[in-house]
Structure 1
């Protein structure tokens, strides 16, 4: 990090001063809080600066509007978490976010970030505006060994196996599938099912190419029918937050959950062991592929060279090897650096690393669809989920309209 410190000192023309850096994020569950604490510890122990935690409860859909309102209202925090993708485009276009290109060049981000699409998602007109910190993938289903043992059946190896096990699970008083009541959870589960059941080519045709014929075709008809089955499997569990749904799997109240790999942090906090207490199926056990979403930190422009130097020091620290290992090990995510050794990792993380090494990856939907389009999809999935009278065919017809108008 010495090169960066020298660079920022030259840019600011000042010596290094201690700065209290307010950092906004939506990591508030037990596992998430344990992970973000690794960032705070690193800043507080390795620099003269102080991490001022600005956690916002309620998830990204709640936190993002609050963060944006502060920034455009003239009361910006010093750093904030978004998903890397298109969520910050308007803030960048308005000149409200700090250009980190000099940090990226000094720290060699162009050589170490893997896959390169993560840094490309931070880049606008050739300039880097965010620091990607992890690879999170939605493409996982988590299974409770205890729940299936209670039902007297084997842990299934794929989505069809879960569907087939539903009667035995219901007989044992266990909800087959845990899904929280927030729209992003329902929409996220649909996205996982789309990639797993319709395949990579169809998913890209819709999300990248906005192909309405594929969106209205047979492959996605099967996805919507399966999503209807998921609605039935989830009946009987009334929880809102994603980590409450994860806890239902941890405690054996529910058999399975479709949720991103951040769920691993909750299993870890509960003291559960992958391969013993729970199992994981990338791509629902059908299509072994990871969408490479995740989180990145952006830094609002500040009219103070000392603060700007501290912001850039934090940006570099977030991608340093030791911090990447400590944070991602706690978060359940994969590191964005291709040159770090996670040492002994659990069975599920190892599956993710193998898929990443094999290049079995897709970009995140956040990188391909605008926030407005994503919100329309979220709203549709929630309406379908909460209204059993809406058929799969009706939902698919509405979905085609959204894709037809997507940009």
Structure 2
């Protein structure tokens, strides 16, 4: 791959100074919204309390903005101490190029294989039997968030499934409320489309396309229904004139929109706004049609450096990420689920409790990040951005989508 071809031109050096009482680690991430910032502050606080020093390297924008910057720095010999990425295939070539720290010794000493649940999270950190990342949470796209106040104003009950959501949309519009909040970015639109696939076409069809890369299923009648539903959703979101996901979430929080299809990281925004799950807002897993979670999420990777003190600090942070206390403090603020099932989350809100029950009952599926390459993901996101912003027909969008799946590795 291209990373291997240019590896000989790279010189990875330690760029992180060590203080007399602690080792400083610059940690890059893209957690910059209100809820995300509150969560990452818990992680930084725990690392500082352990005797080391967290140097925050937040990158404004989405992962699509941050990842090229992160990768460019690692390739250019200016590595950070640790970096957030999504566990899956995003770091595959960096690992193959020998640029990321092997954490297998830490993982084996602490029994990560017996702790991390579901096992697919750690498998996504593993290449050729070696472990290269520390998963910190389980994030799932499989949610729609609904404003109780918006539906009360429109005089209709809060929906319990996608069919009811669709039926209520005209009443919301009559009340001056946008039915569906949607940021104008391909990753958001693609994420929402994936949720609709699982709810409308079903998990088996989703797996055929995303895991087995079956283009004939992508061209078939199950996916045709999804693209037709997406055309309706596009109409519901036509007046959602925001860019970022948290701006769309704010439309739901303020009652300007009826709902938003977004991952469970949206919970952090509701918490920062002081809203109570089950009272101010309603959450429906699987669009209310099925109770299932895709087990995506975030993990920390550690670029190789030639300073032993920094390497040891990197391993200390990896260990801390998996620890019980950090798992509870971080995920309660983030709205995500912990990667270990032996922690006390009795204080979790109504929506998190729903997610925990689904996880405990085994209602899980893989995520696209774990099966599709970044290149394929980008192609689909570009298609979705074009589809949601224009008047592309369902048939044309489905045909182009199936062509991408047919070429996918």
Q: TM-score, normalised by structure 1?
A: 0.95
Q: Distance in 2 between matches of 1:29 and 1:23?
A: 17
Which residue pairs with 2:39 in the alignment? 35
Match 2:145 to one of 133, 142, 145: 142
CA distance in 2, matches of 1:364, 1:172: 37
Q: Distance in 1 between matches of 2:244 and 2:24?
A: 31
The runs of 5 or more residues in structure 1 that have no matched partner are 1-15
Q: 1:353 aligns with which of 356, 367, 384?
A: 356
205, 211, 215: which one aligns with 2:214:
211
Do the aligned residues in 2 keep the contact of 1:170 with 1:176 (CA within 8 Å)?
yes
Residue aligned with 1:61, SS: helix
Structure 1 residue aligned with 2:291? 288
Pairing 1:317–2:320 present: yes
Output aligned runs, 1:17-96, within 5 Å. 18-45=22-49, 47-96=50-99
Distance 1:327 1:277 in 2: 23
Alpha-carbon separation, structure 1, partners of 2:198 and 2:42: 33
Report the counterpart of residue 404 of structure 1 in structure 2: 406
- The whole-number CA distance in structure 1 between the counterparts of 2:366 and 2:402 is 21
The CA distance in 2 between the partners of 1:169 and 1:240, in whole Å, is 22
Runs of 4 or more consecutive aligned structure 1 residues displaced over 3 Å after TM superposition: none
Alpha-carbon distance, 1:17 to partner: 6.1
2:309 aligned partner:
306
Tell me the TM-score normalised to structure 2 length: 0.95
Structure 2's unaligned 5+ residue stretches are 1-19
Query: RMSD across aligned C-alpha pairs, in angstroms?
Result: 0.8
**What SS class does the counterpart of residue 278 from structure 2 fall into?**
coil
Per the TM alignment, residue 209 of structure 1 is displaced from its structure 2 partner at its CA by 0.5
Query: How far apart, in 2, do the equivalents of 1:237 and 1:178 lie?
Result: 5
Partner residue, 2:5: none
Name the SS for the 2:300 alignment partner: strand
**C-alpha contact 1:197 1:287 (8 A) present in aligned 2:** no
SS in 2 for 1:53: strand
Q: 1:356, 1:341 → 2: CA distance? A: 15
- CA distance, structure 2, for counterparts of residue 361 and residue 274 of structure 1: 22
Residue 108 of structure 1 deviates from its aligned partner by 1.1
- Structure 1 residue 304, shift from structure 2 partner: 0.7
Matching residue of 1:13 = none
Matched, 1:255 2:258: yes
Equivalence for 1:130: 133
Structure 2 counterpart of 1:182:
185
